[in-house]
Structure 1
Amino acid sequence: MVQYVDNHLDLSFAALSDATRRGIIDQLGQADASITNLAEKFQLTLTGMKKHVQVLERAGLVVTQKVGRVRTCKLGTNGLKAEAEWIEAHRKLFEARFEALDEIIGELKQEGSDEPAS
């Protein structure tokens, strides 16, 4: 069996599968923040927040910079272009399949209404 492999998409979608990590992305969309500030906002331990940030960082969604004792997080420069393109392509596929199904259902309904009533 051939398997489609795209590690970048795997990392991105895995990172975005968690509500806390999506919240971190939302927060960093408003302003850069330290891990300490993010931990306080999301009521997590520093260790817990560091783990979430590491997942986002591996996916390229967040970058961090350490200045002194403070590690600041900001959105990555890659954005979600590849992810959005993948989703859009599959949305179009689903839409086309549902339109075809609607046509078949419409034809079946029309055939059923053409039969004489008993």
Structure 2
Amino acid sequence: MEIVVSNKASRPLYEQIATQIKTAIMSGELKAGEPIPSVRALAKSLHISILTVQKAYSTLQEDGFIETTAGKGCYVSAQNQDFYLEEQQKKIEERFSEAIEIARASGISFDKLIELLTILYEEDD
């Protein structure tokens, strides 16, 4: 797993790290139970503060992607994929609710909304 961060990006470094590790987990590049680099090792390899990596790891742990065992290090959590998919579904539901509210206020029909969603969804295929 290679992590690349940029000071020029609009997102904070810790978010860049957390996102890349989440992506590696979700894609199957990192498997459940597999160790991830120590905070010190990753900070050293990226030439950034240990505190920045610690914040990224804390975020990943809070989100259920990694588990930390004192004295042994950090490992990919076993339940991460289901948890992540549930979180993503909640985000989609929130955005759908907003879109439905706008559609209703604008008089856009359900069929038109479905048609628009279908076009947008299939656009990247």
TM-score (norm 2): 0.47
Give the number of the structure with larger relative contact order, counting CA–CA contacts within 8 Å between residues 6 or more apart.
1
Q: Which protein has the larger Cα radius of gyration, Structure 1 or Structure 2?
A: 1
